Amino acid sequence: MKMRDLTGKVAVITGASSGIGEATARLLVAEGVRVVLVARRRERIDALVAELGDAALALTADVGDAAAVADVFAEVERRFGGLDLLFNNAGLGVNAKFEASDPADWKRMIDVNLYGVLHCTQAAIPLLRGRPGAMISSVSSVGGRYGTESWSVYSATKFAVVGFHDALRKELGSEGIRVSVIEPGAVWTEFGQNVSDAMRDRRESLDALTSEDVAQALVYAFAQPPRVLVEEILIRPVKQVSP
Ligand SMILES: NC(=O)c1ccc[n+]([C@@H]2O[C@H](COP(=O)([O-])OP(=O)(O)OC[C@H]3O[C@@H](n4cnc5c(N)ncnc54)[C@H](OP(=O)(O)O)[C@@H]3O)[C@@H](O)[C@H]2O)c1
């Protein structure tokens, strides 16, 4: 089946400096999409621009910072006049039993995983309006569908993303703006590398997904005809039989 031609579409990818965001940028550019790479680590997104060429633009921002996010979308509007895809992918997780967890870590996760999605989505909506097939896709997690031991606050932020999207879909669907979530299971990325060898061992034993596996799911959803909303994609390693 031939996918919809995505040539010339414009996408903002948050968390484009590594993992799923970086893989998605590569795949979208291969499909002819112009990508705006957003992350804090300037050198990483500059290196990706050097690889991808004129189809990519790097803009540094902390997605938890509303003013920095506003600057990103003002620049997107100035350069491209609109937007076809917002991929809310930036996120972080801190692994800890809740009783021993640090409120400073709760705040970091809420700032990025929830406020980051809210700031970027609110700034993007006016740019998505009127663009056929426009889509907002946010990365939740299997941990946003099922609570996971030692990931309680992370899970809470990812459940929040699912709830937010279900409500937003009802606000924007009649305008033809597609609102979608992707819920990956274990993926080989830098995510959670701070936690322990146990996580690495678990990824090995599960034969974890690659970032490209998740990026393919995003491109599948985006490349559907504008009338088609792929509302939710839960994608996990086949061996990950429980959360
Ligand atoms: N890997 C998994 O097993 C897994 C499973 C389910 C869901 N997810 C979700 O997948 C998404 C991508 O994660 P990943 O696995 O690809 O991990 P990753 O390689 O650690 O990538 C995380 C990205 O988020 C960016 N980021 C973090 N805080 C940010 C901030 N305040 N402002 C802007 N960007 C920020 C990072 O860039 P900078 O540090 O340069 O800012 C980085 O590009 C996350 O939402 C994560 O929760 C991952």
Question: Is 60 exceeded by the pLDDT of residue 193?
Answer: no
Within a domain: 4: no
Q: Under DSSP, is residue 46 helix (H, G, I), strand (E, B) or coil?
A: helix
Within a domain: 183: yes
Q: Is 62 in the pocket of ligand 1 (CB under 6 A)?
A: yes
Q: What is the CATH number of the domain that holds 47?
A: 3.40.50.720
Give the mean pLDDT of the chain.
96
**Which band of pLDDT confidence, cut at 50, 70 and 90, is reported for residue 195?**
low
Structural domain total, the chain: 1
State which ligand 1 atom lies nearest to the alpha carbon of 186. Answer: 3
Alpha-carbon distance 64 to 169, whole Å?
Answer: 22
N-to-C CA span, the chain? 32
Q: Is 20 in the pocket of ligand 1 (CB under 6 A)?
A: yes
Alpha-carbon distance 119 to 112, whole Å?
Answer: 10
Within a domain: 117: yes
**Distance of CA 178 from the midpoint of ligand 1 (Å):** 23
Within a domain: 25: yes
Q: Give mean pLDDT, residues 113-125.
A: 98
Which residue, 21, 18, 233, 64, is CA-closest to 144? 233
Within a domain: 59: yes
Q: Which domain holds residue 102?
A: 10-235
**Distance of CA 139 from the midpoint of ligand 1 (Å):** 9
What digits encode the pLDDT tens for the residues 62-108? 999 999 999 999 999 999 999 999 999 999 999 999 999 999 999 99
Within a domain: 144: yes
Is 154 in the active site?
A: yes
Q: Under DSSP, is residue 224 helix (H, G, I), strand (E, B) or coil?
A: coil
In this prediction, what percent of the chain has a pLDDT beyond 90? 91
pTM beyond cutoff 0.85: yes
Within a domain: 5: no
What digits encode the pLDDT tens for the residues 32-42? 999 999 999 99
Within a domain: 2: no
State which ligand 1 atom lies nearest to the alpha carbon of 158. Answer: 47
